[in-house]
Amino acid sequence: MQITRLRLSGFKSFVDPADLAIEPGLTGIVGPNGCGKSNLLEAMRWAMGENSPKSMRGAGMEDVIFAGTGTRPQRDFAEVSLHAEQVAGPDAEVEVVRRIERGAGSAYRINGADVRAKDVALLFADAATGAHSPALVSQGRIGAVIAAKPGERRQMLEEAAGIAGLHVRRKDAEQR
Ligand code: ATP
Ligand code: MG
């Protein structure tokens, strides 16, 4: 899976709609401290289903919504869209959208259709990426990998090997 486009609106410091094309190869994002580089990576993780506000550097999930500044009022929603091209699967192009509204929680869409958080998690797990996969390394996470317990490290390896989706499906089957 190749992520080809990231679009944000109202997400953290990206109050105005932003549209980033991600070309094949290496993409670098540079800028001064606090300009929003980490927010972009967090936007990707969030669209993939990240549900821990702490790992998004907030107290609650609504903290991802633009909080306002001295000159601009806060926003009522945040939306992030990830455009990806898949090598396998029914659709070559896939667009995943996550949206959160104040007081109304999160909703997900895949190619325009309402889906569950789990469907998004499976889509990315099968592509060996996802909110908790080692494909996305946040600031300060290298130290955390070194300090991880064996069980946690196994989870990282399983995600990297692309079998994390199988565990979700097994748990599902066991509950039926
Ligand atoms: P560094 O180089 O220090 O790692 P960075 O480019 O990664 O910086 P980020 O951490 O992505 O910067 O951005 C931090 C900025 O995002 C801060 O100015 C913070 O106020 C702003 N920010 C975070 N959440 C929100 C929010 N909900 N609403 C408005 N601004 C926000
Ligand atoms: Mg940063």
Question: In 117-163, which ranges are continuous DSSP H helix?
Answer: 117-126, 141-147, 150-161
Q: Are 164 and 118 in contact (CB under 8 A)?
A: no
Write the CATH number for 12: 3.40.50.300
Q: How far apart are CA 147 and CA 27, in angstroms?
A: 29
Please give the model's pTM, rounded to 2 decimal places.
Answer: 0.85
From its phi and psi, is residue 54 left (phi > 0), alpha (psi between -120 and 50) or beta? alpha
Nearest to 96 by CA among 133, 127, 135, 140: 127
Q: Provide the pLDDT confidence category of residue 90 given band limits of 50, 70 and 90.
A: low
R_g (Cα) of the chain, nearest Å: 17
pLDDT at position 146 over 70: yes
12 lines ligand 1 (CB under 6 A): yes
Quick: pLDDT tens for 1-35: 899 999 999 999 999 999 999 999 999 999 999 99
145 lines ligand 1 (CB under 6 A): no
pLDDT at position 147 over 70: yes
Domain span at residue 127 reads: 2-175
Quick: pLDDT tens for 111-140: 999 999 999 999 988 887 787 776 788 887
Q: Ligand 2 centroid to 51 CA: how many Å? A: 20
- Binding site members for ATP: 32-39
Nearest to 133 by CA among 156, 101, 161: 156
- Interface confidence, given as ipTM, is 0.98
Distances, alpha carbon 49 to alpha carbons 27, 43, 46, 118, in Å: 23, 10, 5, 8
Query: What percent of the chain lies above the pLDDT cut of 90?
Result: 66
pLDDT at position 65 over 90: yes
Structural domains of the chain, count: 1
Using DSSP's 3-state secondary structure scheme, residue 80 falls into strand
